[in-house]
Structure 1
Amino acid sequence: MKLRDLSPLMARRRDGGLSHGRFRADPALASLHWPDDVLEQFLFDHGDNSAFVHDYGDVDLCEIRWSLETIPTEDFEEMPTGASDAGCIENFAKNPVHWVRVRPPEVGQHWERHGTWLRPPILIARWLLHPADTGLQVLEGRTRVGVLRGRRREGLHVESHHQAWVGHPAM
């Protein structure tokens, strides 16, 4: 199953006729056995975003297994995102205080207290996209990763490790 296969479901979601609860209960999505947070951030929020479809449209969604992992801060420094959004992480990193300020107050409070994001971003093993590639790529959470990079450069409180959902090839 690929993102394009979900276009009828995405059209119902886009038209407002499908809550997240009903969306995730769709048999096609339920068969993926993905964590709810990944379903929401990736498919519900962005499954019909043209940049996502361009960058991730050829990935077989059934071949991804997700795990919540702890990733060192350094790993996020050079981690890319999809080609359609190249450069956006660095744009967010230029003004991390602004990008936190325009979010709900609890986001900024969490950064100040814990030095990390409130909600884990979604990363994907680059091997799933291009078999010759290694490492991880930011699938969803480009603003969060940009804020992390920017806060680190500006000497603001940043923890040494951060949780993220990571998609690996199903074996």
Structure 2
Amino acid sequence: MLVRLEDLPAADRDQGISVFATLPAIARLDWPGEVVEQWLYDHGRHLEFLDDYGSLDLSRIRWTLKDVAVDDLKAIPTGRSDQDWLDEVAAEHRRWLSLRPQRYRDAWEDHGSWLVPPILITRALLYPRSLGLQVIEGRMRVGILQGRLADGLHVADVHRAWVGSA
């Protein structure tokens, strides 16, 4: 059964993620909690997400927590509505990272990666003949990675990420 972002209930901040994740339409997707929280709960109703991913059949996506090579993240795109923002974060990565809590800054300095795995999908879900990955949520994390790479700062060779594919 086809499920799109607009078919799902909006997150009710008063109820919280634990209630949202148990709503029948959300639970039927059988997605990992981190993916539900970062994408559907935190951003599912944002206009940019509806524009970029509104036609995507969410019921087809299966998630795997994977190690993704840094080479696959160097130029990874995001939705067209937010690509400029991803590029801005990369260009100003030091400033954006300075706004994050100390534990996030320490993770980059000590381990060369993020603390929370971002949400990526295979581009073939959106464009059937496309290869590679696309950032759904975690654009700031990926932008910081891209900026650190461009500036020759410490970045790990692999990074944990939730990867959705058909």
Whether TM-score is above 0.5 comes out as: yes
Q: Which moved more, 1:84-93 or 1:32-41?
A: 84-93
**1:20 equivalent in alignment to 2:23:** no
Cα distance in 1, alignment partners of residues 129 and 48 from structure 2: 22
Q: CA deviation at 1:98?
A: 1.1
Task: Work out the CA distance in 2 between the residues paired with 1:155 and 1:135.
Answer: 24
Task: Indicate which of 143, 149, 154 corresponds to 2:151.
Answer: 154
Question: How far has the Cα of 1:149 moved from its partner?
Answer: 0.9
Query: How many pairs align?
Result: 164
For residues 51-100 of structure 1, the C-alpha deviation after alignment (integer angstroms, 9 at most, x for no partner) is 00111111111100000111111111111100111222221111211111
In 2: Cα distance, 1:128 partner to 1:17 partner: 33
What is aligned with 1:77?
Answer: 74
Percent sequence identity over matched residues?
A: 45
Matched AA of 2:107: H
Secondary structure in 2 aligned to 1:137?
Answer: strand
Secondary structure of the residue aligned to 1:146 is: helix
- Aligned partner of 1:97 in structure 2 is 94
Structure 1: gaps (5+ residues)? none
Partner of 1:51: helix, strand, or coil? helix
Partner in structure 2 of residue 3 of structure 1 = 5
Q: Please report the TM-score for the alignment, with normalisation by the length of structure 2.
A: 0.95
**Structure 1 residues 126-164: Cα deviation after superposition (integer angstroms, max 9, x where no partner):** 111121222110111111111001111222211111111
Alignment root-mean-square deviation, CA: 1.1
* Alpha-carbon separation, structure 2, partners of 1:44 and 1:159: 29
**How far apart are the structure 1 equivalents of 2:87 and 2:4?**
29
Aligned residue for 1:106, secondary structure, equals helix
1:144 to 141, 144, 155: 141
Runs of 5+ unmatched residues, structure 2: none
Provide the C-alpha distance between the structure 1 equivalents of 2:110 and 2:161, rounded to a whole number of angstroms: 18
| Runs of 4+ residues over 6 Å off in structure 1 | none
